[in-house]
Every structure is written in structure tokens, then in C-alpha cells.
Amino acid sequence: MSTADEAVRITKYLSLELGTRTIGSENCKKAARFIQQHFQDAGLSIHCQEFDCPDWVEESVFVNLNGETLEAYANTFSPSSNFTAPTISAGTQAELENADIRGKVLVLYGSLAQSELAAKAAIYVSPRDHRIHQILEERQPAGIVTINPTLHGHWRLIEDFDLNIPSVTVSAASGLKLLKQDGSPVSISIASRRSASKSENVIGTLTGSIPDKIVLCAHYDTKVDTPGAYDNAAGVGMLLALASQLARIPHRHKFEFVAFSGEEIYGLGDMTYARLSGSRFEEITAVVNFDGVGPFTGSTSMAIFAASQEFAQLAAEKAARFPAIVPVDPWPASDHYIFYSNGVPSIAFSSVGIRDIYHTPQDTYDWISTQKLAETFDLALEIILEMDGKDRSWGRQKESS
């Protein structure tokens, strides 16, 4: 079986046979067992880092405005609730700062609903999202409605199991009706089920002739509604295919292959890894992360973080041989964050030019290009083998004198 075929087989299994792999769910646990078996078959030693998390299921949602039922779905981890209250809308942070939201249904749209609101305890929270959480906790609205920023997407824009305010996302068309009747009472009924569960990072290790290690990683969990083909079954396909390949060839470094869970929710797996790793980030020569690779209609992207000029130059020279792969500016929101924020040179492979599909039911295997997966694999392997010949200090940013 070729490298591309192996990555495709893994992508198919995770996205087609398993589908949605939300933390705490049975499908997420099945994915972890599949990854463990692959590492074992490749001859890697395996250990897992388990952490607590909820398993959450939406059972029913009903939103009614002046006798009309609106298209809506509960935001992830929303508690059950049944109430009626007047609406008040905010489309900018300044509007939210000045709004009297206590006891009302807060309708968030515009710049406040362009992407998911980061959970308060997440590994990475922007200053804007941190302030929004402060306002919600201080002023306690009766509920929250977020308006989908796309016409046909299916996003749940709040996903915070520490936020005890019921919330839903409505379609853009339903949101338009709410905004046109701002201040009208709206009835919201949410039935959801939440139970204690667990998830885990699955780590496979290849020993080397030196103690330093190179870490390769990808997350296997998904948002609630999506089969997560390119985000991130294809990334896991890259990770496991590289594990098989590197297990067959000589190498100096210890290789650590980390299949993270919880990247989509809080960064729970990343926080668990950081806590259990302690100060051992100093032992890592470099990290390569795969998150959102392989879609037909996207261009593969490569970003470099916390790296020396020599490291960045090597990666750029290798990438220049792959004209379909584009360099992009650093971006924080994935598993590489915990590494580069601790000074570890990092590379993140993803995609640009594809929108309104990730985090939705439309992220299916149909979008995956075998050729793009093969190109990503080939470039990553070339860079990894070059790094294997370097020492740990080579790639790190030099401290200014």
C-alpha cells in the first residue's frame, strides 16, 4: 500500500465509517482505539493521556418568535431550559458593552458572531472573547442567540461547558427576523443530555540513538455535527502514515506521534499534554502539526513558528519544490500552539481557500484530494528527515544580546 493510499484509508475510516467524533462520545473512543492499533501494528510503543470531559447530546430545540418557529440548534454544551424573554441585540463589542442584557435574550450577530466564541477556560482565548465572557457572567442574560454568519452553514457558535446560560444558534434567515423585531419576546426550549465521560491523547513513540525528539501531531476529535474529513481525519491520516514510514527507516531522533483529542473543545488534550510534559519541551527539536489538509478546493498551506532563520530557510527551500503548497503567516488556534508558545520550533500544515465547510456537516470525504495528501506527506517527510540530522539548538530562535 502506498503512502497516499494509507492516508486515504485512514481518512475514509474516520470520516465515513465513524463520522462525528466529539470528545466524550463513543465514536471518539473508537477513533482512539483505531489509532492505538495502528501504532501497535507499526511497532511503536504506546501510552495514553486520559482526561475528564462531558459527553453532550442535543435532543430537541424550539425557538418561537411571535408565533413563528425559527430554524435553530442548541449551542454545544448548552443546558436544558424553557423560558420566554424579550430580545436585545448586539453586533459589535461596543454595543455589547452598553447593552442592558440582564434577564433578556441576547442576540449576537455581525462582528460578534463571525466565528465560535472561545470557551472561557480554553487554552487560547483572545482578549475580545475574554471580555465577552466577563460581560455574560456579570450581567446574566436569560439566554443567548447567536446568528449564523453564513446563509447555508450549520455552526454552533458557543461551545463552553462552564457557561451555564442556555444558548442556541439560528440560521441567517431566522436571525434577520429576530433583528427586524428586536425587543420582541422570544420563547426558547432546549432539551439536552450531558453526562460525565473521558477522552485521551494517544501517543506512539519510536526510539532513536539520541535523547532529543521530534514531535508529529494531529487531532482526531471533531465538532458536534461534522464528519470532519479534512478537519481532521486527513491530518490523522498524515500522522499515521508518517508513523508507518518512519518506523521503517533509520533515524537519530526519538519520534513522538501525538494524536490529540479535545483540540476542538477547550484544547483539553493540549493542556493535558503540557501538564504531564512539565519542562520537557526543552527536549524537543521541532514539531510538525497537521490540521485541515487535503481538500480539493483548497491550497495546502505551511506556517512556521518560533524558529531560527536557518530552520525557516530550510523549510522554505523544501517547500519551493512543491508549487501547490503556499507559505502563510503564523496562526495560533491548533495543537502547535502549546509547543511554539514554549519555544519549540514548529511547522503547521493546513489549507487556505476553502470556507463554510469546516466545522459543518459538509466537511465530508468527497472534498479530499489524494494528490494533495501525497504532496503534503512528501514535503513533510523531506523536512522531518532533514531535521533528524540536526541538533536541538539549531532550530531554536537565538536570544538577542
pLDDT 10s digits, 220-252:
999 999 999 999 999 999 999 999 999 999 999
Q: Do 333 and 209 belong to one domain?
A: yes
β-pairing, 325-327 vs 299-305, is parallel
> Are 161 and 77 within 8 A, CB to CB?
yes
Give the ranges where 13-76 is alpha helix by DSSP (H).
26-41
**315, 202: one domain:** yes
**Helix ranges, 158-308 (H):** 172-180, 234-246, 268-277
Question: C-alpha distances in angstroms, 91 versus 88, 147, 277, 284, 326?
Answer: 10, 10, 41, 43, 34
More confident residue, 154 or 115: 115
In a domain, 51, yes or no: yes
208 and 175 fall within a common domain: no
Residues 266 and 340 both lie in one domain: yes
The pLDDT of residue 401 is 41
310-351 pLDDT, tens digit each: 999 999 999 999 999 999 999 888 999 999 999 999 999 999
Give 372: exposed, middle or buried? Use CB within 10 Å, 0-12, 13-18, 19+: buried
CA pair distance 25, 31, nearest whole angstrom: 10
Long-range contacts of 96-104 (CB under 8 A, 24+ apart): 96/132, 96/135, 97/135, 100/139, 101/135, 101/139, 101/140, 101/141, 102/139, 102/140, 102/141, 103/140, 103/141, 103/142, 104/141, 104/142
Q: Which of 161, 183, 205 is the last residue of a domain?
A: 183
Question: Cell numbers of 94, please?
Answer: 461596543
Q: Please give the residue range of the domain that contains residue 372.
A: 3-55+197-388
Beta bridge partners of 213: 254, 284
Q: 299 near 324, Cβ under 8 Å?
A: yes
Torsion of CA 13, 21, 156, 160, to 10 degrees: -160
Average pLDDT, the chain: 94
Contacts of 344 (CB under 8 A, 6+ apart): 215, 281, 284, 286, 287, 306, 396
Give which of 391, 299, 378 is closest to 345, Cα–Cα: 391
95: CATH: 3.50.30.30
- Same structural domain for residues 295 and 345? yes
Number of structural domains found in the chain: 2
Q: Which of 234, 227, 263 is nearest to 15 (CA)?
A: 227
Q: Pick from 148, 183, 218: which residue ends a domain?
A: 183
Same domain, yes or no, for 28 and 72? no
**Does 338 lie in the same domain as 217?**
yes
pLDDT in tens, 176-207: 999 999 999 999 999 999 999 999 999 999 99
Helix (H, G, I), strand (E, B) or coil at 117: strand
Q: Within this chain, do residues 204 and 315 fall inside the same structural domain, yes or no?
A: yes
Structure confidence at residue 278 as a pLDDT band (50, 70, 90): confident
Residue with cell 465538532: 223
Residues 93 and 43 grouped into a single domain: no
Q: What is the mean pLDDT of residues 205-223?
A: 96
| Among 183, 210, 234, residue at a domain's last position | 183
Mean pLDDT within 344-367: 91
**152 occurs within a structural domain:** yes
Q: Does residue 400 surpass a pLDDT of 60?
A: no
Within 10 angstroms of residue 275's Cβ, the number of other Cβ atoms is 10
Residue with cell 495528501: 373
| Judgement on whether residues 211 and 79 belong to the same structural domain of the protein | no
Q: Is the pLDDT of residue 45 over 60?
A: yes
Contact 116, 138 (CB under 8 A): no
- What is the CATH classification number for the domain harbouring 368? 3.40.630.10
- Do residues 142 and 284 both lie within one domain? no
